[in-house]
Amino acid sequence: MRATIAQAALRRDITRVSEQRQALPDGPVIETDYRFKEVNGQDVGLLDRFGDKGALVTYSDVRARARAAVSDVHKRARRAERRRR
């Protein structure tokens, strides 16, 4: 029964957040052709990559770096523990 209540609350929250996201204004128009160096050294612009698209969405998982850092700490601790044995 609790799971059903929690699922209903979650569904309401998801709907509310979705409505808020849809109500956001459009992002700024980027008029500068930002330039980047590719891995092979080639100079490429943002418009070269995405100029024919109506929108560009970026995603960054800031938690991934934190998880990797914690994982590194755990690995170092395990190595130190093995050395002590």
9 within 8 A of 22, measured Cβ to Cβ: no
Confidence (pLDDT) at 85: 74
Range of the domain at 37: 2-84
Say how far apart CA 17 and CA 10 lie, in whole Å. Answer: 10
- Determine the average pLDDT of the residues in 27-36: 81
Confidence (pLDDT) at 16: 93
pLDDT at 50 over 90: no
pLDDT at 68 over 90: no
pLDDT at 81 over 90: no
64 within 8 A of 71, measured Cβ to Cβ: no
47 within 8 A of 32, measured Cβ to Cβ: no
Confidence (pLDDT) at 9: 93
- Sorted by sequence, the CB contacts under 8 Å of residue 43 that are 6+ apart come out as 35, 36, 37
Total domains, the chain: 1
pLDDT band at 14 (very low <50, low <70, confident <90, very high): very high
